[in-house]
Amino acid sequence: MINRDEIFAYVKETFDTEPDYPWSKFPNYAVLRHRGSRKWYGLIMNIPRIKLGLSGEGSLDIIDLKCDPGFIRLLRNEQGILPAYHMNKEHWITVVLDSPFPKEEIYHLIDSSYYLTK
């Protein structure tokens, strides 16, 4: 399990990235961008469980990350990994932050997304 503050600390230390909040309608949606090109490599959102196809009430923090399509097929069997919410499902995945998916693996996926979008 990981939270958005841990992710923000990681991307600040690793890539010197500060979260960007571009939508006033969605003040908790944070975009992680490359400093120079401003291309996205991550998007953190708080989404109702029902919109993710999950049972229960309330919302979950998720992060969308770019991922190699071949690796996506392997990850889809992992608990906490979903088809990308609101992104291209062939090239992006959604990771549920409050899931048993290992924190170190999430950091690895963030790194991979950063380099895939560079």
In the chain, what are the domain boundaries?
Answer: 4-116
As a whole number, mean pLDDT of residues 23-27 equals: 96
Q: Return the pLDDT at 11.
A: 98
| pLDDT mean across residues, the chain | 95
pLDDT at 76 over 90: no
Q: Which residues are bridge partners to 33 per DSSP? A: 40
Cβ neighbors of 17 (< 8 A, separation 6 or more) are 11, 32, 33, 34, 35
Q: Return the pLDDT at 77.
A: 87
Which CATH code, of 2.40.30.10, 3.40.1350.10, 3.90.1150.30, 3.30.420.40, is assigned to 4-116? 3.90.1150.30
pLDDT tens track for 84-96: 998 999 999 999 9
Q: Where do we find the tokens 């196809």? A: 53
Alpha-carbon distance 24 to 32, whole Å?
A: 16
